[in-house]
Amino acid sequence: MTGLGAVFRPQLAPERLRAVARAADEAGLEELWLWEDCFREGGISTAAAALAWTERVRVGVGLLPVPLRNVAITAMEAATLHRMFPGRAILGVGHGVQDWMGQVGARVESPVTLLREHLLALRALLAGERVTTEGRYVRLDDVALDWPPGQAVEVLAGATGPRSLRLAGEAADGTVLTASTPPDGVRRARRLIDEGRAAAGRTDAHKVVVYLLAATGADAHERLRAELVAEGDDAVPGLGVAGDAEAVAAAVRRLAEAGADSVILQPTGDEPDPEGFVRFVAEEIGPMVA
């Protein structure tokens, strides 16, 4: 079964989140994803609020930029969410947009090295281990969480390039792929992830989450096209989908067949009805891809 979700875009003001989260919960949406995009909304604060306002929907953060965060703080916040809302929080970390990292003085010389060190330390801390490490970027001296999660939790990594995808397979429990990833890109990513997993001797499950830019309604094709052009993705075949529930569900199935375990529908930045969009995903797309 393919997991299905939707994104609350950070182009929306934070005060809009409550209504969208409640609509998602009431409609039976499986997953609601949030972004920590500079310089909009914080990922952990919005996730905590969305979880508190809802009863059953899982809430994902994709992604927390690791250059902005000490790994001990990431672990503390993640563990707190998992203890307060068991089984409902999904945590993803990544390099962050390098231009944004530069704006705040957090850009590093080797983003891949930082992500590897962060992932290894974060997963160990969340597993309840006491960690001492002296890496190039991550340094911990006898650190352990007083309140680690009460159960095993997944840590996902955002990745696009070959080195990052292999690293995700090696050091993360899952991978998050952007909406710039067509079905062939998912297949390629799976191969690279599996190379990393094989090199690390990992045989456990590895979840692949893919965003899918989607639009529905009278002006769906125009809004989709405008966003693809704005992102420089208009020449890439197989990206995004516009149309009715049948068309969107077919695009979800194509990504699932390519290797996606979860497909998260990403509305355009100018989506006129965010509450209606999450209901559309849950009530119309969900039954078609279950």
Residue 251 has pLDDT above 80, yes or no: yes
Q: How confident is the model at residue 1 (pLDDT cuts 50, 70, 90)?
A: confident
**Residue 65: closest CA among 29, 40, 82:** 40
pLDDT in tens, 163-209: 999 999 999 999 999 999 999 999 999 999 999 999 999 999 999 99
CA distance 50 to 34: 9
pLDDT of res. 129: 98
Question: Cα separations (Å) of 222 from 7, 55, 225?
Answer: 20, 36, 5
Classify residue 39 by burial, with Cβ atoms within 10 Å: 0-12, 13-18, 19+: exposed
Report d(CA 145, CA 143) in Å as an integer: 7
For residues 231, 233, 235, 238, the Cα torsion angle rounded to the nearest 10 degrees is -150
Tallying the residues shown for the chain, one arrives at 290
- How confident is the model over 239-247, as a mean pLDDT? 98
Domain covering 3-289, topology: TIM Barrel (3.20.20)
Bond from prior residue into 39 cis (ω within 30 degrees of 0): yes
Residue spans per domain, the chain? 3-289
Statement: residue 118 has pLDDT above 90: yes
pLDDT tens readout for residues 27-67? 999 999 999 999 999 999 999 999 999 999 999 999 999 99
Q: Is the pLDDT of residue 290 over 90?
A: no
Taking CA atoms, 234 is separated from 73, 228, 269, 270, 272, in Å, by 38, 5, 16, 17, 22
What percent of the chain has a predicted confidence (pLDDT) above 70? Answer: 100
pTM of the model: 0.97
Gap between the Cα atoms of 249 and 151, Å rounded: 33
User: How many Å apart are CA 77 and CA 210, to the nearest integer?
Assistant: 24
CA dihedral 105, 67, 139, 141 (to 10 degrees): 110
For residues 201 and 169, the answer to whether their CB atoms sit within 8 Å is no
Alpha helices in the chain (DSSP H): 17-27, 43-53, 71-84, 98-103, 111-126, 162-171, 183-200, 220-231, 245-258, 274-279, 286-289
- For 33-44, the pLDDT digits (tens) are 999 999 999 999
Cα–Cα distance between 4 and 16 in angstroms, integer?
A: 22
Question: pLDDT digits over 127-155, tens only?
Answer: 999 999 999 999 999 999 999 999 999 99
Mean pLDDT over all residues of the chain?
Answer: 97
CA atoms within 13 A on the CB side of 221: 3
**Percent over 90 (pLDDT), the chain:** 99
